[in-house]
Structure 1
Amino acid sequence: MKKLNLILFLASFSLLFQSCNDNNDDFDLPVSTGETTVYDLGTKDVSGISGKATFVENTDASVTIVLDIDGTPAGGMHPAHIHLNSALEGGDIALTLNAVNGDNGKSVTTFSTLNDGTSINYSQLLNFDGYINVHLSADELGTIVAQGDIGQNALTGESKTYDLGEKDVAGISGNVTFSKRANGETLATLMIDGTPAGGIHPAHIHANTAAESGAILFSFTPVNGDTGMSVTNINAFDDGSPFMYSDIEGLDAYVNVHLSANALGTIVSQGDIGQNDLTGTTKTYDLGEKDVTGISGDVIFSERVNGEALATLMIDGTPAGGMHPAHIHANTAAESGAILYTFTPVNGDTGMSVSNVATFDDGSAFMFSDIEGLDAYVNVHLSANALGTIVSQGDIGQNDLTGTTKTYDLGEKDIAGISGDVIFSERVNGEALATLMIDGTPAGGMHPAHIHANTAAESGAILYTFTPVNGDTGMSVSNVAAFDDGSAFMFSDIEGLDAYINVHLSATALGTIVSQGDIGQNDLSGESKAYVLAEKDVPGISGTATFYKRVNNTALAVLNIQNTPAGGMHPAHIHENDAATGGAIAFTFNVVNGDTGMSNTQVETLDDNTAITYDDILSFDGYINVHLSATQLGTIVAQGNIGSNE
């Protein structure tokens, strides 16, 4: 159908052929073979004028070119030519086409030779090294209203675009588009926004990544500051070696756009291209405050097409003028380890560092795909002369935190005013970061801390040793992966752990516990039941018995007895039946300390080893007696019904 319409269109212009073809007064309308090729003619010096050129193969070996231009001013006649070379390069006229009629935007020309008499056919024209210009008028040939490459210079429609971001001058950025020509060469178009009017901005392709820098490989036509544009034909590097469109995706290179020829050191826009282009896949890790408050940030690893990575550190709060060394270290930050990789130092003025990641410092491969599995952390240091001062730090790779945490309270114990909590944070690899935060620790002290077996009320052996708590900060960070005996100890084990934590006064005063708390299955659920223990045989002594439900449905029993005589130890029991009836001892509490009036006891079995849960206690047929002493059990200082007898 399209071929038929084209033949009818050509027939409608038969009179125009006869009037325009001075070489053949007896012109007969050529017959099309049905083969056509269309080339776009884009806007050039006059906005709003563009169109297309249709090449038609005829049966007599001639060629008809139909120009169809939109936006031409009425009444005008617009000269048109085929020129040698690409439009970017420019060249002499090879063939003069009939002028475009401004009233209808049409021009039809049939030919079989170029202006110099050289024969040319349809297939040769499709491989011709040329372009078409349509001019404003015969008197204004310098004004080109439409233009387009043809033949081997035509664009195939295949292209590759790379971002060119801001660099040394804020507000200037853009992109570079490489468009494939039919002959395999490339049209390179730079479009830069924010360039200052009147400026001319040199631009180049450099070897390596922008993070590494490298020598100039190819020089673009400079970017025009008024338009932000640069167009360049690419078929060879600056050294003359071939450089075709097919080479671009594999190119180990980046593009720089400079402020001016006199200020090449100022790069206004920059971006990686080819195999160094970014895929859009990234991995970001937090870098928190460490030894200097107010300095923190993150590190972003961005995947490249070639599998390497662009590492970008963005650190807030760095002091102006400083240069801050930064490294990837082995292990977790809590454990510390050797340097694996050295970043470009962080610039204190900008807080930025960009590095290409392809190998570790020892030369072994280190690709983007390795990052998530890396057993490592990042340190950013104050300066090359103060490496011991870490301004920002964070775990990465398999040591990154998932965001899942479990927190347990660590209450006061032997020294009033010292308490805190322990936070277990899950890592990607299933291990845990354990952070103890203890308030009220004396300055200068170091406080050993451990996980013990059983409940705090029962006590038990040490299962795990934390890094000691620093008295100046009240902090301790430890990696949890194994118990002290080497058996596995992961984040998933914590909630089921039958254990408690002790924080001690010092390594030489382990008997003094400054903070303590049950964890895991022994943690308190928040549910409790209190019973009144009234005066009995000794006036003025009374209190309460509170049962706290644990996660595992056992109970912590806390007896709080007022006015017990100092220095005494007061046995206490749960008896069967109600107090009025009396009954045998069912459960023995830890004795009440007369100095504090306190007793803490784990309740999970009766004295005969019968299991008893928190829920069982609430319905138990019993009562509590607190005695004056082990030798005066007949003297009951406090008593109260519990369970079903309340």
Structure 2
Amino acid sequence: MILAVAGMTISCDDDDEDPVGPLPTGDQKSFILYDNSFDPFGTVLFEELDDNTTRVTINLNDNTGPHPAHIHSGSTFEQGSIVVDLTTIENGTSVTVISELNDGTGVTYADLINLDGYVAAHVSPGDLTVAATADLGPNEVTGNIATYPLYVPNTLDQINGGIFFVERGDGNVWVAVSAEPGVEGMMHPMHIHDNSAAETGGIAITLNDLNGTTDFSATLIEDQDFATLSSYNGYVNIHESADNLQNIVAQGDIGSNALTGTFVEYTMAERNNTGVSGVAQFYERAGGHSLLMVDLTGTIEGTAHPSHIHFNSAEEGGGIAIPLTSVDGTTGMALTTIREDENGAVTFDSLTTSYDGYLNVHLSGEDLTVVSQSNIGGNVFTGSTTQYAFAAVDGSGVEGTATFNERLNGSTWLVLEMTGTAQGNTHPSHIHSGSVASPGGIAIDLSSVEGGSGMSMTNIDQTNAGDPITYEDLTTTYEGYINVHLSAQDLSVVSQTNIGASAQ
């Protein structure tokens, strides 16, 4: 062949080797490599070349190596023998051109991408533990993967491992479980149960046993699709053995019961000098309902402490709204799934923002003395307070303070603390419209001041006329004042103070 370039003549021998080599035909397919936690680890690209060979390129998400790599028969979940050796991964990359399997059988691009097999990248030449895999052909996964943690039973103490739902291209779902509690040489029965672990429920799906030696199990579910399983109202139990199913070594909520990571914590305060205190943590579940964990110190070993969420605030008191799991006096803990109260469905958002309730823990089933308590939801105090000083009227000697405390729901807990009152007396109290200088009628009835303690406590969210009124209203724009009277029989004013706009 003769080429003329800018007046020069260049001769090329037709028999010279082609420096370019085989070229891609344009047909290619990429598969995702997943690590043992089913997080993306890299990609495997199969490219058809024009000489009927296939170029396989592995690119990891980092530049690590060396990692031996192979194509195996089987799948990530049912691993088989090596069928093709690939170039070892160096600096995160490997390129191999394939024309035949290790046994000499010719193999095409179409054969490889449809192979009942998988690509495996291993940890190192000295450690052939599988670090990442990419399933091929009928085993290919869609990328829809749901991951759930495993816990020590009846706690939120997470253990190494997890539950993985992995959707295949054919719509079937692998349920893989990796868990360290496995005992060498033992097989641990596993099941998906209905409801949450805190509620317990019957067996819904039997899974393949966890191998205590490998700490791994995989089950192909063919009658439930990924959308159903990943929203399922269930949990997984791992049992000690077939002979001791009562001993659960690990468990984890799945689907709609999975924890989203969002939680709200309340401080459980000691009551009645019992020394019992701690926290109440509400965790949001994927289905919008809640897991409540009560974790206390000072509880009595061997005693079950009844617990409930009550209506209203702790300061007001109210009936039981939601029965809870009793606190185990030995561990100080209790877990309860909350889906509803006696009025119907109740969500995590409601319980932690607007719910009109409080939580009580009692001494025992025989003695319901409250040992620990906390407001929840809308009744939690924001920390904003406004205080006004009372002035004695007509030499009564009755003085004190009115402290307005804001709740999360905007309502007000008003505390009157008076001095100069007498034991046995009850002093009616009211918020009036107007001001001390320009008196008006009663707008809001308050709890009477008890003469012995000098105290009065009232929750305020509306006026006597039924009009809503907030803490912000009462302490900034409302034109009003408080009167404390001598008695129900003699409404002479003994102490008063302006509030809100009237105090400015």
Q: What TM-score do you get using the length of structure 1 for normalisation?
A: 0.57
* Secondary structure in structure 2 of the residue aligned to 1:464: strand
Task: Specify whether residues 412 and 190 from structure 1 end up closer, same or farther in structure 2 by C-alpha distance, changes over 3 A only.
Answer: closer
The residue aligned with 1:107 is 13
8 Å Cα contact 2:175/2:220 also seen in 1: no
8 Å Cα contact 1:237/1:243 also seen in 2: no
- The separation in 2 between residues aligned to 1:611 and 1:177, in whole angstroms, is 66
Amino acid at match of 1:549: E
CA shift for structure 1 position 549: 2.5
| 1:276 maps onto 2:139 in alignment | yes
- The separation in 2 between residues aligned to 1:165 and 1:502, in whole angstroms, is 47
Task: Specify whether residues 283 and 164 from structure 1 end up closer, same or farther in structure 2 by C-alpha distance, changes over 3 A only.
Answer: closer
1:555 aligned to 397, 412, 426, which one? 412
Kindly provide the CA deviation profile for residues 163-201 of structure 1, in whole angstroms up to 9, marking residues without a partner as x: 78899xxxxx99977554669x655769896379xxxx9
Amino acid at match of 2:79: S
Kindly provide the CA deviation profile for residues 363-405 of structure 1, in whole angstroms up to 9, marking residues without a partner as x: x524444343222234456777776565654433222333444
1:375 aligned to 216, 223, 233, which one? 233
| 1:332 maps onto 2:188 in alignment | no
Query: In the TM superposition, what are the counterparts of 1:209-228 in structure 2 within 5 Å?
Result: 209-214=75-80, 219-220=83-84
Task: Specify whether residues 450 and 157 from structure 1 end up closer, same or farther in structure 2 by C-alpha distance, changes over 3 A only.
Answer: same
8 Å Cα contact 1:418/1:440 also seen in 2: yes
CA shift for structure 1 position 160: 4.6
CA shift for structure 1 position 219: 4.1
CA shift for structure 1 position 503: 3.0
8 Å Cα contact 1:564/1:595 also seen in 2: yes
- The separation in 1 between residues aligned to 2:271 and 2:488, in whole angstroms, is 26
The residue aligned with 1:252 is 116
1:639 aligned to 480, 490, 495, which one? 495
CA shift for structure 1 position 302: 4.1
- The separation in 2 between residues aligned to 1:268 and 1:402, in whole angstroms, is 30
- The separation in 2 between residues aligned to 1:400 and 1:571, in whole angstroms, is 53
* Secondary structure in structure 2 of the residue aligned to 1:282: strand
The residue aligned with 2:253 is 395
Task: Specify whether residues 254 and 294 from structure 1 end up closer, same or farther in structure 2 by C-alpha distance, changes over 3 A only.
Answer: closer
8 Å Cα contact 2:141/2:167 also seen in 1: yes
The residue aligned with 1:194 is 66
The residue aligned with 1:515 is 372
The residue aligned with 2:99 is 233
* Secondary structure in structure 1 of the residue aligned to 2:118: strand
* Secondary structure in structure 2 of the residue aligned to 1:275: helix
Amino acid at match of 2:497: N
CA shift for structure 1 position 546: 1.7
* Secondary structure in structure 2 of the residue aligned to 1:337: coil
Task: Specify whether residues 294 and 377 from structure 1 end up closer, same or farther in structure 2 by C-alpha distance, changes over 3 A only.
Answer: closer
CA shift for structure 1 position 332: 1.9
8 Å Cα contact 1:174/1:269 also seen in 2: no
The residue aligned with 2:460 is 603
8 Å Cα contact 2:210/2:217 also seen in 1: no
8 Å Cα contact 1:212/1:355 also seen in 2: no
The residue aligned with 1:471 is 329
Kindly provide the CA deviation profile for residues 439-467 of structure 1, in whole angstroms up to 9, marking residues without a partner as x: 54334332333333334444333322222
- The separation in 2 between residues aligned to 1:608 and 1:160, in whole angstroms, is 73
- The separation in 1 between residues aligned to 2:287 and 2:207, in whole angstroms, is 24
- The separation in 2 between residues aligned to 1:372 and 1:306, in whole angstroms, is 17
8 Å Cα contact 1:288/1:297 also seen in 2: no
* Secondary structure in structure 2 of the residue aligned to 1:476: strand
CA shift for structure 1 position 601: 1.9
The residue aligned with 1:358 is 220
Task: Specify whether residues 187 and 481 from structure 1 end up closer, same or farther in structure 2 by C-alpha distance, changes over 3 A only.
Answer: same
CA shift for structure 1 position 624: 3.8
* Secondary structure in structure 1 of the residue aligned to 2:228: helix
- The separation in 1 between residues aligned to 2:241 and 2:377, in whole angstroms, is 42
- The separation in 2 between residues aligned to 1:254 and 1:287, in whole angstroms, is 27
8 Å Cα contact 2:152/2:251 also seen in 1: yes
Task: Specify whether residues 476 and 221 from structure 1 end up closer, same or farther in structure 2 by C-alpha distance, changes over 3 A only.
Answer: closer
Task: Specify whether residues 440 and 588 from structure 1 end up closer, same or farther in structure 2 by C-alpha distance, changes over 3 A only.
Answer: farther
- The separation in 2 between residues aligned to 1:408 and 1:164, in whole angstroms, is 43
* Secondary structure in structure 2 of the residue aligned to 1:556: strand
* Secondary structure in structure 1 of the residue aligned to 2:253: strand
8 Å Cα contact 2:299/2:332 also seen in 1: yes
The residue aligned with 2:402 is 545
Task: Specify whether residues 483 and 634 from structure 1 end up closer, same or farther in structure 2 by C-alpha distance, changes over 3 A only.
Answer: closer
Task: Specify whether residues 493 and 623 from structure 1 end up closer, same or farther in structure 2 by C-alpha distance, changes over 3 A only.
Answer: closer
The residue aligned with 1:532 is 389
The residue aligned with 1:429 is 287
CA shift for structure 1 position 474: 3.5
CA shift for structure 1 position 223: 7.5
CA shift for structure 1 position 641: 1.9
| 1:573 maps onto 2:419 in alignment | no
The residue aligned with 2:481 is 622
8 Å Cα contact 1:500/1:516 also seen in 2: yes
- The separation in 1 between residues aligned to 2:481 and 2:150, in whole angstroms, is 57
- The separation in 2 between residues aligned to 1:163 and 1:533, in whole angstroms, is 73
8 Å Cα contact 1:624/1:640 also seen in 2: yes
Task: Specify whether residues 380 and 516 from structure 1 end up closer, same or farther in structure 2 by C-alpha distance, changes over 3 A only.
Answer: same
- The separation in 2 between residues aligned to 1:616 and 1:481, in whole angstroms, is 34
Task: Specify whether residues 315 and 579 from structure 1 end up closer, same or farther in structure 2 by C-alpha distance, changes over 3 A only.
Answer: same
Query: In the TM superposition, what are the counterparts of 1:386-465 in structure 2 within 5 Å?
Result: 393-415=251-273, 417-465=275-323
Q: More strand by proportion, 1 or 2?
A: 2
| 1:285 maps onto 2:148 in alignment | yes
Q: Kindly name which structure, 1 or 2, has the bigger radius of gyration based on alpha carbons.
A: 1
* Secondary structure in structure 2 of the residue aligned to 1:468: strand
* Secondary structure in structure 2 of the residue aligned to 1:508: coil
CA shift for structure 1 position 547: 1.9
- The separation in 1 between residues aligned to 2:395 and 2:245, in whole angstroms, is 67
Task: Specify whether residues 225 and 578 from structure 1 end up closer, same or farther in structure 2 by C-alpha distance, changes over 3 A only.
Answer: closer
CA shift for structure 1 position 555: 1.9
8 Å Cα contact 1:573/1:587 also seen in 2: no
Query: In the TM superposition, what are the counterparts of 1:311-322 in structure 2 within 5 Å?
Result: 313=177
> Larger deviation: 367-376 or 574-583?
574-583
The percent identity for this pair of structures is 31
8 Å Cα contact 1:449/1:465 also seen in 2: yes
Task: Specify whether residues 159 and 617 from structure 1 end up closer, same or farther in structure 2 by C-alpha distance, changes over 3 A only.
Answer: closer
- The separation in 2 between residues aligned to 1:268 and 1:617, in whole angstroms, is 67
Task: Specify whether residues 301 and 509 from structure 1 end up closer, same or farther in structure 2 by C-alpha distance, changes over 3 A only.
Answer: same
Task: Specify whether residues 375 and 165 from structure 1 end up closer, same or farther in structure 2 by C-alpha distance, changes over 3 A only.
Answer: closer
Task: Specify whether residues 230 and 514 from structure 1 end up closer, same or farther in structure 2 by C-alpha distance, changes over 3 A only.
Answer: same
CA shift for structure 1 position 612: 5.2
The residue aligned with 1:345 is 210
CA shift for structure 1 position 276: 1.9
- The separation in 2 between residues aligned to 1:477 and 1:579, in whole angstroms, is 53
- The separation in 2 between residues aligned to 1:174 and 1:573, in whole angstroms, is 73
CA shift for structure 1 position 642: 3.6
8 Å Cα contact 2:291/2:337 also seen in 1: yes
Aligned length: 479
| 1:158 maps onto 2:30 in alignment | no
- The separation in 2 between residues aligned to 1:498 and 1:574, in whole angstroms, is 24
Kindly provide the CA deviation profile for residues 104-163 of structure 1, in whole angstroms up to 9, marking residues without a partner as x: 994236xxxxxxxxxxxxxxxxxxxxxxx96xxxxxxxxxx98967xxxx8745345667
Amino acid at match of 1:526: G
- The separation in 2 between residues aligned to 1:274 and 1:427, in whole angstroms, is 36
